[in-house]
Amino acid sequence: MKTKKCTVCKEVKSVDDFCKKSAIKKDGLSYICRKCGSTYMSSYRSTPKGFLKMIYLRLDRKDSTGHPEGRRRLTFEEFVTAWKKHLSIYGMRSAWGPGPDQLDQHLPITMTVKGDGSWARKEGKRTQSNLSIDRLDSNIDYTVQNIIFIRSDENARKSSSSYEDCKIHMRLYEERFIKMKAL
């Protein structure tokens, strides 16, 4: 049985405990074992930047367009800049609400990840207060102008929107596409 020493935990383990990474190592294996790599990724995803990266990469997971980037038409840097702009206006609150002048009526947003690096779940469901990305116009791809930062529960209830929800959506749509105010 072939073995290799992990550069993080310093344990000698089977080569099966290492990911294949031919681009970084002559032996075609990662420098660190899967367990140490998982621990690192879990701690990275628990940071704001890591959480945003995880959401950014998931914007295309259900793509059917055949385009290499799917429906995502913004870079990660543009995505982070849009998030920073959101924070300057709303703080850690959802954009879904009556407007920045009434932030007390906007629900708080969280960025919660379980210790194993997966999405935090309660009773089999995603954490409802977690950050989610929504498109103002579902017929348009993810662009800086077409995204808003809201909560998972707000994004999930779109299929049963109330009149008040529609008024909020129309206000946000008018800001972006009529008044041309991107984030």
Tokens representing residue 154 in the block: 């707000």
Percent of the chain with pLDDT over 70: 84
What is the band of 91 on the pLDDT scale with cuts at 50, 70, 90? very high
| Structure confidence by residue, pLDDT tens digits, 7-45 | 999 999 999 999 888 776 688 898 999 999 999 988 898
pTM value surpassing 0.85: no
Q: Say what the pLDDT of residue 116 is.
A: 52
Instruction: State the angle between helix axes of 48-58 and 34-45 in degrees (0 to 180), rounded to the nearest 10.
Output: 100
Q: Over 80: is that where the pLDDT of 78 sits?
A: yes
Count of alpha carbons within 13 angstroms of residue 119, beta-carbon side: 17
CA–CA separation, 118 and 54 (whole Å):
10
Q: Over 70: is that where the pLDDT of 70 sits?
A: no
Q: Over 60: is that where the pLDDT of 84 sits?
A: yes
Q: Over 70: is that where the pLDDT of 86 sits?
A: yes
Residue in 35, 61, 53 with CA at minimum distance from that of residue 115: 35
Q: Say what the pLDDT of residue 5 is.
A: 94
Q: Say what the pLDDT of residue 85 is.
A: 96
Q: Over 80: is that where the pLDDT of 63 sits?
A: no
Place of tokens 């808003």: 148
Tokens representing residue 107 in the block: 């629900």
Helix (H, G, I), strand (E, B) or coil at 142: strand
Domains of the chain: 42-178 (3.30.40)
Q: Over 60: is that where the pLDDT of 123 sits?
A: no
